Amino acid sequence: MDEKVKTLQQWIDESRAIVFFGGAGVSTESGIPDFRSVDGLYNQKYAWSPEEILSRTFFDAKPEEFYRFYRDKMLCLDAQPNAAHKKLAELEAAGRLRSVVTQNIDGLHQKAGSRRVWELHGSVHRNYCMRCHKPYAVEDIKAGQGVPKCVCGGTVKPDVVLYEEGLDSATIEGAVSDLQSADLLIIGGTSLAVYPAAGLINYYRGSRLVLINKSSTPCDSRASLAINLPIGQVLEQIELR
C-alpha cells in the first residue's frame, strides 16, 4: 500500500459520513464501455455520434435507430460489480458511507449491495410507457426488437436522462443534501467533464476531497489527495476497521 492509499485509509477510518461520487471509470472495470476513453463508444464509427443518438431529439425522431444502438451498446446486463462497487457497499453497511452519487445507469452499485444510490442519469433497469406509465423490465427491452410498445400502444422509454433532458429534481436534492453534510468526499472514475452532474461536487463543504482516476482531471488541483490509479485497484486495498 503506497503512502497515498495509506492516507485514504486513515481518512476513511476517521470518517462517518462519506459520500462517493462516481463516473464511467467505475463501470469500465466491469467491462462496460466508456464514452470518452480511447477505446470508448465515442471513438467507434456509427452513422451518427453516440452523443447525437442518445439525445431526446433523436429518440423522438428516429426511435428505431435509437433502440438499435441502445440494445447493442447500452444494455450490458451480464456485467458484474467489481472491487470498487463491492467495497462501497461494505462501507455503507458498516455505517461509514452515507451514499453513492453516480453518473452511471447500469445499476451495478445496487447489484453489489448499495442501498442509498443517487442515480443522476437514471437507470436502464427502469422503463416506462410514455402514455400510461406502465413499467417494463429491462430484460423485456433487451429481448425485443424495434421500438418497444406498451399494451396501450404507447412507446416505452428507458428511465435514463438523455441529452437535452433535465436531471430529476428529487435525485439532485438528495445528492446535494448528502454532499453538504459529508465529512469526506471521494470522487472516482470520472473526468468531471459532464455537467450539470460534475458541478454537484461544489456543494461539498468538507476539507477532505479525494480524487481517484486513471488520468488527471480539471479538479486535481482542488483535491486534498489525488490518486491516478483505477478506482477498483485503490478501493480493494481499503480495510474496514
Residue 223 contacts residue 197 (beta carbons within 8 Å): no
Residue 183, CA distances (Å) to 36, 112, 141 in order: 30, 24, 40
- Residue among 85, 121, 125, 133 flagged as catalytic: 121
Extended strands (E) in 137-200 = 156-160, 184-188
The answer to whether 109 is a known catalytic residue is no
Residue that the C-alpha cell 424495434 belongs to: 146
Backbone angles phi, psi at 73, to 5 degrees: -120, -20
Extended strands (E) in the chain = 18-22, 97-102, 117-119, 122-129, 135-136, 156-160, 184-188, 209-212, 225-227
Q: Which long-range contacts (CB under 8 A, 24 or more apart) does 127-135 make?
A: 127/156, 127/157, 127/158, 127/159, 128/156, 128/157, 128/159, 129/154, 129/155, 129/156, 129/157, 130/154, 130/155, 130/156, 130/157, 131/155
Q: Annotated active-site positions, please?
A: 121
